[in-house]
Structure 1
């Protein structure tokens, strides 16, 4: 006698569906082609989790090297996402509920991403409890996190407030939630510390970019030494001028400031090139999603018409459990 099929959990929602995706019901309808498709969907989750975990061990946080690795992770995640879009049944499902809503949200976020790259993230619920929905939510979340980190590192005048508002934390059940949440918390902590320090000193926060902070630090130290020298000259009314020791201090601080400025300038050039690459990739990916959605809509309309015409033939259509 065949084993009884387990009932689906009640009130399952998105998180329940994540764990239920490979249930006995799914196994009962298993076929090798669909298993290959699920492997591509799962590969995106594993890839994002691995790249974010690697970033968690990258010191210092929000340095030029960190941002470069983050943008590289965004590009490679986009490659994995395009592999998902290349799956026929997945592409066909892109214009159907519930994936259509998440696809529209992804398109909206790509526009915001292009705006940031060319010069706040809105919260979204991963409401589609399916492999395609999770893939769309994953790519959308990676985009939002990457752009938020860029704004936190080098805030624009009209987006400085966005740096204080981290993206909504992803559900704990997704594979990449822990490393992304940990990075968000670390960046938020650093921003709060800098914002508090800026408020107490009366200066505006200028971003968390490590190399930029090194320039600020060197400039403060040089300014402090120059003020001390001026005070000493005034108090002692030195006739012979600045002592050799004080002159050495001034030269040393000035050289440190020059070195910090060179490191910032030399590091920004390759990062700017990488930002342009990401910009063009996001444009291309958005165009690909739009193209697939339009094609899927036309195909679904045609399939619906054919199904209505053949409604008396009997065999129900097969749908993949994405």
Structure 2
């Protein structure tokens, strides 16, 4: 039997260790709360700045290429901040609920990677439409305007409007008809023929539930927030860029409006949702430049239908031809930059996935 003094010393040592563990747990919890608050504030500020930009310079048109690029900047900024949260999370003992939350996020990321690939392919299709618009512009700028130039413009415009699923007036019919979609997802596509971006979005939100109780102040909350931001951004891309999908959900997320970070994001979702509902576009294609190109294309198509040589109507379409040329000029650089940015988001999603896998491995 140990002497009383040795027993007393051993007891004090164990008590000291226990007190250290309790203090350490309190410090970790306090750090978690600080990280969570900082992350929520960051997301709120980034979305607030996005939807309420400074009046000078003027804000970019809604769903335009620069607007989409700014949205992706918001995502990458939130992702960078989320990585900081993961560093803190890696020091937390793993629990079954936390493992489930992270596993679900890993699944969402895989679906988001597929969507990024589909969006990159969709941008390629938009580039093809831009090329068709440029052919029409070149043909209609010929002076004097002859029947051959107008026929070239009409062929290009027919292909362009077929690609955007617009209503095209058949030359031999007085009625309007809805053309079939020709967005191409052929050999360059790395998703299956039956794959649907819309269904991927719906699957991403199937188990996305707001943490409650004790989980609301733990690591599950930043995972929920980042997952929501990811789904929102992927959904906007699918709505804006023609993707391989049967439909685009009007509003995929039930965001908690009472939370500051979500109230700003809700504004984005509602505006895009209204546009999706109003346009009823199959497979997306709400990008501002595409909408303008389609509208001008329809007007120029009507001109080619009634054109007879010789004509004195060249000046009638000059303004629209110039506007189409300006849209093409802006898209020339903008589409390349947007495509590059989507690829960068793809790489960031891969890194997030690796970080989460690392967190789960560290806590095994």
Residues 206 and 84 of structure 1, relative CA distance in 2, 3 Å threshold: closer
Alignment equivalent of 1:125, drawn from 204, 209, 219:
209
Residue aligning to 1:45: 40
Residue aligning to 1:178: 263
Stretches of 4+ aligned residues off by more than 6 angstroms:
none
Aligned length: 248
Residue aligning to 1:6: none
Per-residue CA deviations over 1:144-198 (Å, capped at 9, x if unaligned) read: 00100000001312x251x234222222333212111221111111111111xx6
**TM-score normalised to the size of structure 2?**
0.63
Task: Give, in angstroms, the shift of residue 205 of structure 1.
Answer: 6.6
Stretch moving more, 216-225 or 134-143: 216-225
**TM-score normalised to the size of structure 1?**
0.71
Greater length-normalized contact order (CA 8 Å, ≥ 6 residues apart) = 2
Per-residue CA deviations over 1:109-162 (Å, capped at 9, x if unaligned) read: 1001100111232321123323311100011111100100000001312x251x
CA distance in 2, matches of 1:49, 1:153: 23
CA distance in 2, matches of 1:56, 1:290: 33
Residue aligning to 2:296: 218
Contact 1:152 1:160 in 2 (8 A): no
Contact 1:151 1:160 in 2 (8 A): no
Task: Give, in angstroms, the shift of residue 94 of structure 1.
Answer: 6.8
- Alignment of 1:285 with 2:285, yes or no, is no
Residue aligning to 1:164: 249
What 5-or-longer segments of structure 2 have no aligned partner?
A: 1-22, 53-58, 119-199
CA distance in 1, matches of 2:343, 2:93: 28
CA distance in 1, matches of 2:328, 2:229: 31
Residues 275 and 45 of structure 1, relative CA distance in 2, 3 Å threshold: same
Residue aligning to 1:10: none
Residue aligning to 1:320: none
Alignment of 1:1-322 (within 5 A): 34-57=29-52, 59-87=60-88, 90-93=89-92, 95-119=94-118, 120-121=200-201, 122=203, 123=205, 124-127=208-211, 128-157=215-244, 159-161=245-247, 163-195=248-280, 207-227=285-305, 229-230=306-307, 233=308, 241-243=310-312, 246-297=313-364
Residues 82 and 136 of structure 1, relative CA distance in 2, 3 Å threshold: same
**Paired residue secondary structure (1:250):** helix
Residues 287 and 220 of structure 1, relative CA distance in 2, 3 Å threshold: same
Residue aligning to 2:154: none
CA distance in 1, matches of 2:65, 2:318: 27
Stretch moving more, 71-80 or 33-42: 33-42
CA distance in 2, matches of 1:209, 1:218: 15
Residue aligning to 2:132: none
CA distance in 2, matches of 1:193, 1:30: 52
Per-residue CA deviations over 1:208-267 (Å, capped at 9, x if unaligned) read: 10111121122122123333x43xx5xxxx8xx211xx1112333222222212222221
**Paired residue secondary structure (1:176):** helix
Residue aligning to 1:19: none
CA distance in 2, matches of 1:31, 1:290: 26
Contact 1:106 1:140 in 2 (8 A): yes
Task: Give, in angstroms, the shift of residue 29 of structure 1.
Answer: 10
Contact 2:250 2:276 in 1 (8 A): no
